[in-house]
Structures are given as C-alpha cells and as structure tokens.
Structure 1
C-alpha cells in the first residue's frame, strides 16, 4: 500500500508543479502584454483615413472611411490610406504594426475579396547600416503579408515586391514604411 500512496503523492506534486508553471508563464505573458500597452498616451496623433470621394478613372479607391480615427502612435508608427495606397509606417528599428491598423488591413482585405491582388513593398530610412535597413524593410513587408494571411487573405493574392530603391522618400518617419497597392 505504501507504493500507491507514494505514487499518488508524487502525481499530486507533479500536478501542482505543472499548475504553478502554467500560472507563472501566464503571468509573465500577461505582464509583457500589459507592459507593452502604454498606460498613458505619451504622444497622441490624429490620423485620418480618407479617400477622395470622386477619384479619377485612373485612380483606385481602396476604402471609404468617413470618420477620423485617433490612435496612440508609438515612436512614429502609424497607418495612412490615401490615393489607393495603404501605408504602414514603423517606429525606428521595429517591424511591429502600429495600433489602429485594423481599418487599413480591412481596406486591403476588402480589395482582395473584390478580386484584386495586394502588392506589398518595404522601404527604410537612410540612417544606420544599409544592409541592416534592407533586412528590416523586408521583415516589415513580411510582417504585413503574414498578418494579412493570418486574417484569411490567400497567400497567392499577395505579392512581395522589392522596389528598385528601398530607401524611402520623405523624412525618416515617412521613409520607414510598407506600401500595399491593390492591382486589378
């Protein structure tokens, strides 16, 4: 009988250890998620997602959003939809999408569902090591593609296109971007 008692005590101890490990891992994940979300907005920006109401015949309307969306922008990350192009802007050294990306992602998904193809291109700023910047631009484009695929867009409807010049135009914050164009 002592063998059964020892086995049940050992099973109880192993179960208790497993539960404690799960609680610790869950706590760490919850803390990391809470810590990554800013408690107070350090910087607030107004980002309007608009598309011209009467676009010329050669322009493509990506989405029609009639409200202004206010999001917290971490270190320069943001989203903009204009003139048929969805731009995802990234913080320095980051490949994380900005908060508020849902509307822009929805615009891309809506275009693909209408039979169009999404062409995703990554750009970088001109500060720092050029080779590292190239890899970061590629990783950012892959992030946007992977999120779209994760949201149900068929992978064959998304093309990653390395632009001839990956150094983006504009200031550094405008240069660190991924452009998504919807083609017929």
Structure 2
C-alpha cells in the first residue's frame, strides 16, 4: 500500500506542476496582450503576437505601444555595414502583421549612429540602414508610403552595438 501511495503522490505532484506551468503561461500571455487589470477590456484581441527577446533584437521587456507589437523593434547592424541582418525579417514580423491587419497604422524607421568618426558618413550609413529595414517591410507587402524614415540620429547608447541600430515604431 505504501508503494502505491508514493506513486500516487508523485503523479499528483507532476499534475500540479503541469497546472502551475499552464497558469503561469496564461498569466504571462494575458499580461502581454494587456488584458489584465482592466486593460484591453474595450479592445479586440491582438492580431499579432511575438515575445520580446533580447536575442531577436526586440527590446526585452518593452511595453507595447500598440497591442501585440513591441514598443520599439531594434535591428542591430555590423560596424560600417547597412546590410540587414538575417534575423530582421523575424524581428519585424509583428510589425509587418500589424500593419497588414490595420490599414490606418504606420511605422516610423529611425537609423542611429555613434558620435565617433565622420558625422556625414555616419549619417549616410544610418540612412542606408533605415532604408534597408524599410525595404524588408515593403518586400513583405507593406505599402512604402506607410513606412516613414526619420532623420538619422546620434545614439546615446553606451555601447557600439547599441549605436549601430535601426528602431521601428508603430503608430495608429
């Protein structure tokens, strides 16, 4: 009888662990979509969802400006290069899907550079990076007129990688 009780307790422990994981996952999803604490009660469910991760270039833990879309999507570039990294299409997926589902929405694309070196060259590289990111969205089916380019900016980031970036922000 004791052996059977131990097996039952182990099975019950596993069941409760699974239930706990499911509850935590549901709470995280609810928080991500903004439906907790009265948020989102008057809004339809988000049309897109992508978790924000530092590895994908999306601002980790960023609040959402538009439901289901990270507040800022950051695409990081190599030094002196304007070729879009392979991860850009994935990183821009939530923006692309939101823009396709919401014809009135637009996206602003901003290129950044650091203060070192020739300011004119840096500004041109930043502009080329922003154009390359816009081209990814346009190639995915977003109308070019809905993706605006902002003037290149000097980065206030403390590291080189943060300075070599393009930020994409969605506006309703």
TM-score under structure 1 length normalisation: 0.58
Structure 1 residue 131 corresponds to structure 2 residue 110: no
How does 1:85-104 map onto structure 2 within 5 Å? Answer: 85-104=72-91
C-alpha distance in structure 1 between counterparts of 2:128 and 2:169, whole Å: 18
C-alpha distance in structure 2 between counterparts of 1:173 and 1:91, whole Å: 8
Give deviations 1:43-93, integer Å, cap 9, x for gaps: xxxxxxxx9625596xxx8953359696xxxxxxx6224431111111100
Q: Which runs of 5+ in 2 are unaligned?
A: 1-28, 40-45, 64-70
How many positions carry a matched residue from both structures? 124
Q: Which runs of 5+ in 1 are unaligned?
A: 1-50, 71-77
Q: How far did 1:151 drift? A: 1.4
How much is the aligned-residue C-alpha RMSD, in angstroms? 3.1
Provide runs of 4+ in structure 1 moved above 4 Å.
54-57, 66-70
Structure 1 residue 80 corresponds to structure 2 residue 67: no
Equivalent position of 2:50 in the other structure: 65
| Matched position secondary structure for 1:80 | coil
Q: How far did 1:101 drift? A: 1.9
Give deviations 1:71-126, integer Å, cap 9, x for gaps: xxxxxxx6224431111111100011222222212111112123221111111122
Structure 1 residue 151 corresponds to structure 2 residue 114: no
Identify the match of residue 155 of structure 2 among 155, 168, 178.
168
Pair 1:158–1:62, CA change in 2 (3 A): farther
C-alpha distance in structure 2 between counterparts of 1:53 and 1:94, whole Å: 34
